[in-house]
Chain A
Amino acid sequence: MGSPVISARNVWKIFGKDPVGYLKTLQPGRSFEDIRADGYIAGVRDVSLDVARGEMLVIMGLSGSGKSTLVRCFSRLHEITGGSIEVDGQIIGDLSEKDLIELRRNKMGMVFQSFGLLPHRTVLDNVAFPLEMRGQDRHTRRKRALEVIELVGLAGREDYFPRELSGGQQQRVGIARSLAIEPDIWFLDEPFSALDPLIRREMQDEFLRLQAMLGKTIVFITHDFDEALRLADRIAIMKDGAVEQCDTPDQIVMNPTTDYVAKFTEEIDKARVVHAGVLARAGVAGEGQPVEAGATVQQLARLLVNDSRDLIPVADKGQVIGALDRQGALDILLKAS
């Protein structure tokens, strides 16, 4: 995986009168409610996270859990109260205003829940906005903007104003704008939450298509657990400003570490999430035809029911990595814990 692109160490973000002074005197182990009783709001509580290059980390939590605050700390839209955040090896809290602007102009893109489009600019001018800000000439930025507009499927709407577009189309503009500068890091703050369920599904597919093409490092925020499971390489579940668990979807579903996470996973159809590769126990050899490590339990349902083997070999890219216990997999399928 290489060195992490974003590395957060013991990050705190406290809102209130004198957050820095308060954090200094803060006793370890004080809960969110304790802090609130002191007159402060803990947006982010002692979060340590790494985001690897090319990885899609989904931060999941209910409203007010601090997920939006955390991602704004990553891009330094919020100044953090304590801890440190490194982006590409630079501590972003130490950057001068000029360097920060440079970083945002060249490496970061962000998509917002209610789109954040500039109402007085056309689609083209909105998408070209970051390019204009970094001083590119009209011709270059127009060319690049048209490329990204094409990429998100809005060709022909360049001269429309945001208010003339539907919600889904507006978010496509937001996505195009965030991609215009070819960022390394892509932040998406609940990009599809304001959309109708049908459009949301369509946009998720679109997003997966784009990501398969572009392979960016992504921090994606959502309050929708299904969305998180669908998109994530890893999920960080947040509550009251702290990360409860950060792991792959399979692990979160199979082994929730806290009651809070367990509650979330209760209603989830685990068979759709858990992959054969995760169930495979190394060093155990099954016999017969192996199954693909990337297949979910649900996809293997017919085989699991019909097959008579106890141990089924699992292969990743043609290489057998172990074998799964058929009975265990069937339990997942039948929702028996």
Chain B
Amino acid sequence: MTATTTEAATTAPALPRKTLGLAMIGLAVAMTLLHYVGLLPAWLHRLPEAIIPPFATWLDAIFNFVKDDLGLLALTRLLTDGLEVVLDATANLLFGKRRWPNIGPIPWSAIAAMAAVVGYYLGGWRMALLAGGTFVWTAMIGQWDIAMQTMSVLVVAAPLAFVIGLVLGITAWKSPSFDAVLRPVLAVLQTLPFFTYLLPAVIFFKVGPTAGAVATTVYAIPPMILMTTLGLQKVSPEVVEAGKMSGCTRWQMLRHVYIPAARTEILVGVNQVIMLCLAMVVLTAFIGMPGLGAKLLAMMGSFKIGRSFEIGVTIVLLAVTLDRMSKAWVVKLPEHFERGTPFWIRHKFLLMAIGAFVGFTLIAQFVPILSEVGRKQSWSQGKEIDTLIKNFLAIDLVQSITNSIRYVLNIWVLNPLRDFMLSIPTVAFVLLVSAAALLVAGRREAVLAAVFFGLVALTGWWDRSVITLYSVLAAVSIALLLGVPIGIVAARKEKTANAVLLACDTAQTFPSFIYLIPAIMLFGITATSVVMSILIFSMVPLVRYTIEGLRNVPDEMTEAADMSGATRMQKLWNVQLPLALPTMAVGFNQAIMFAFFMVIIAAFIGTQDLGQELQRTLAGTDLGKNFVLGICVTLMALTFDMVIMKWADDKKARLGLN
């Protein structure tokens, strides 16, 4: 009864919204048709160059003022020096760069052994095997040095991001006004394409590991801030009052009550920081940061699929290990020892780790292979895999399948869609987006959508923006067609659902760069690969949230449907899907965000969109242009994010789900 009345209450004022939205669509369609018959004035089709403001020049002026006149560059160069010392130290320890403290490199076997002990402490034998195995694999496949180049930045960037994120998170939680300023900034930062992180890092922090570390740190901070704030807000009021009644000062409250009580969320933040750092540190290859990413980029560029594949496996193993270990840390709770437990039992893991480390370091002095795996000794099978894959791709059946997929996609789907989207007049396009926002979300969202897309038009990068958007929409649509049915089928049985969810969880931890490998493997360096890599990448959240949504439908509702005599299909369409829709929308939103991220990376394959231009700016010092391009991507992504999330929230509220 209450449900119907609230429904009526919300639909009543929504009626003019609907008419207005349809009118806007009608107007846009009319303009497009006019353009087709050649009656639309040119200035309505594309904004004339004359009225496009030189945003890039303005931004450059501002940057130069901040950089030189305000002395920001001097400050960052100072920071660079400090950071360089730390990075050199980790580089020395991990792969023997000739810098202070000149004691490295640590033998790989010692690191692998210690990782295994930490794994054992966090998650038993299986985790020990995973952690130890990852490092053994890395060494034996002959990638130890490049992997350690990557790790040497990671071990600096992740703690830095953690500390900065924690401090900012605490500040945001303490001060609502700071929080109000921070939130929109975080929203922008989280949708900003990674190229836009890279160029300023290079300009302000010197090419190489320092810039890589800075870009990585900045990139990983936002989720840490959000998780910290969330965790602190969630601390139970009674625990807080208990702290106050115990006579805590403000500092004691924070140190002894709030932060320990928010432990879980803070550690989830740590997990996210580590995973984002890994994803980004691989991508810093684009600004010349050596390591796994650079090697992968080079190998893919020269189509050495075998080596690319091996590096991919290393990155994936590292990602899975770091993810599983940090997640195991989240759920690891302290256990008590009985009174009188001796010292070596209380601290057995610490002693084991020290023992393993010292032991292997000593043994490695006499057994060289435990200290360094030489070029000839490695197990790399790059060439053999290359031949294998080339032979596989040369099989007629395989070739005809990939070729026909490429043909159908390009000729029937992708090119027509792109041409159609480009043919819509700019003003009509903005109208359409705004109308869609109005119909799906609401007035506020419609206005913002119009403003955001209007700004994109004003930057003068309209065509490239539309091409970017087209790649995203095309890939996500196909992903939707494939991912949702997979999710529905998988959700039917508890067992398959769990297996697929685990696969999705694991796939989500892979750095995005990895997704290019299978696409390039099958389709070479072509436009199809771009769509394919986005497709695979964005399918993961779609499948995942479809399953989650279906599984979280309350039992009593499916039971009620069963008892009403619904067939499986009736139950799916009338009960499960409608209730799962808000959750699925969240997955859809994430798929779009992932797609925007991936489409930029794919620039490296050769696209005509914003990513391509962005990648070009990296070669120079065009900070203004870099930002304008980045903001274009952000504005489009934010529009989707805002509209979809608003719809999902409204829907959830109307369905009375939490």
Binding site for B on A (CB under 8 A): 72, 75, 77, 101-102, 104-106, 108-110, 112-122, 129-130, 132-134, 158-161, 163-164, 174, 177-178, 181, 187
Contacts and interface: CB of A to CB of B under 8 A. Distances in A.
Interface string B230-260: 0000001011011111111100100011001
Contacts of A117: 239, 242
B336 A160 contact: yes
Nearest to B263: A120
A179 to B, nearest CB: 12
5 contacts: A77-B241, A109-B245, A112-B242, A130-B246, A158-B339
Given A118-B260, A118-B261, A120-B260, A104 B244 contact: yes
Contacts of B339: 158-159
A108 B236 CA distance: 21
B342 interface: no
Contact of B241 (A116, A122, A134, A181): A116
Contact of A134 (B239, B247, B334): B247
Contacts of A110: 241-242, 245
A120 B334 contact: yes
A120 B261 contact: yes
Contacts of B263: 119-120
A19 B244 CA distance: 23
Nearest to B260: A120
Contacts of B257: 118
B333 A112 contact: no
B245 A133 contact: no
A177 B336 contact: no
Interface in B237-292: 238-239, 241-249, 252, 256-257, 260-261, 263
- Interface centre among A133, A164, A178, by most chain B C-beta atoms within 10 angstroms, is A133
A77 B244 CA distance: 8
Contacts of A112: 238, 241-242
Contacts of B243: 118
Interface of B: 236, 238-239, 241-249, 252, 256-257, 260-261, 263, 333-339
A181 B242 CA distance: 13
A177 B238 contact: no
B238 A118 contact: no
A119 B261 contact: yes
A180 to B, nearest CB: 9
B238 A133 contact: no
B485 to A, nearest CB: 42
Nearest to B247: A105
A131 B249 CA distance: 13
- Interface centre among A112, A113, A121, by most chain B C-beta atoms within 10 angstroms, is A112
Contacts of A121: 260
Contact of A177 (B246, B249, B335, B338): B246
A141 to B, nearest CB: 12
Contacts of A122: 336
10 A-B pairs closest in CB distance: A105-B247, A116-B242, A116-B238, A130-B246, A159-B336, A110-B245, A112-B238, A104-B247, A120-B260, A101-B247
Contacts of B333: 161, 163
A117 B257 CA distance: 10
Contact of B247 (A113, A133, A158, A159): A133
A158 B248 CA distance: 22
Nearest to A120: B260
Contacts of A75: 245
Contacts of A101: 247-249
Contacts of A181: 247
Given A115-B238, A117-B242, A133-B248, 6 more contacts: A102-B247, A104-B247, A105-B247, A118-B242, A130-B246, A177-B246
A121 B260 CA distance: 9
A294 to B, nearest CB: 34
Contacts of A116: 236, 238-239, 241-242
B250 to A, nearest CB: 8
Given A119-B261, A130-B247, A133-B256, A159 B337 contact: yes
A121 B248 CA distance: 16
A100 to B, nearest CB: 9
A115 B241 CA distance: 11
A112 B246 CA distance: 12
B238 A113 contact: yes
A116 B248 CA distance: 14
Given A118-B257, A118-B260, A161 B336 contact: yes
A114 B238 contact: yes
A255 to B, nearest CB: 36
Nearest to B245: A110
A181 B337 CA distance: 27
A122 B339 CA distance: 13
- Interface centre among B238, B242, B249, B257, by most chain A C-beta atoms within 10 angstroms, is B242
A145 B243 CA distance: 17
A158 B334 CA distance: 14
Nearest to B334: A161
Nearest to A158: B339
A101 B249 CA distance: 7
A188 to B, nearest CB: 12
A298 B242 CA distance: 41
- Interface centre among B245, B333, B337, by most chain A C-beta atoms within 10 angstroms, is B245
Contacts of A187: 245
A122 B249 CA distance: 21
A129 B256 contact: yes
A178 B245 CA distance: 9
A108 B245 contact: yes
Contacts of A72: 241
Given A113-B238, A159-B336, A163-B333, A77 B260 contact: no
B334 A129 contact: no
Nearest to A103: B247
A159 B338 contact: yes
Contacts of A164: 336
A120 B262 CA distance: 10
Nearest to A187: B245
Contacts of B238: 112-116
Contacts of B261: 118-120
Contacts of B260: 118-121
A307 B640 CA distance: 87
A106 B337 CA distance: 32
Contacts of A163: 333
B245 A118 contact: no
A164 B335 CA distance: 9
A258 to B, nearest CB: 31
Nearest to A157: B336
Contacts of B236: 114, 116
Nearest to A131: B246
A181 to B, nearest CB: 8
Contacts of A104: 244-247
B312 to A, nearest CB: 39
A184 to B, nearest CB: 14
- Interface centre among B241, B246, B249, by most chain A C-beta atoms within 10 angstroms, is B246
Nearest to A132: B256
Nearest to B237: A116
Nearest to A110: B245
A155 B236 CA distance: 27
Nearest to B238: A116
A221 to B, nearest CB: 13
Nearest to B257: A118
A156 to B, nearest CB: 9
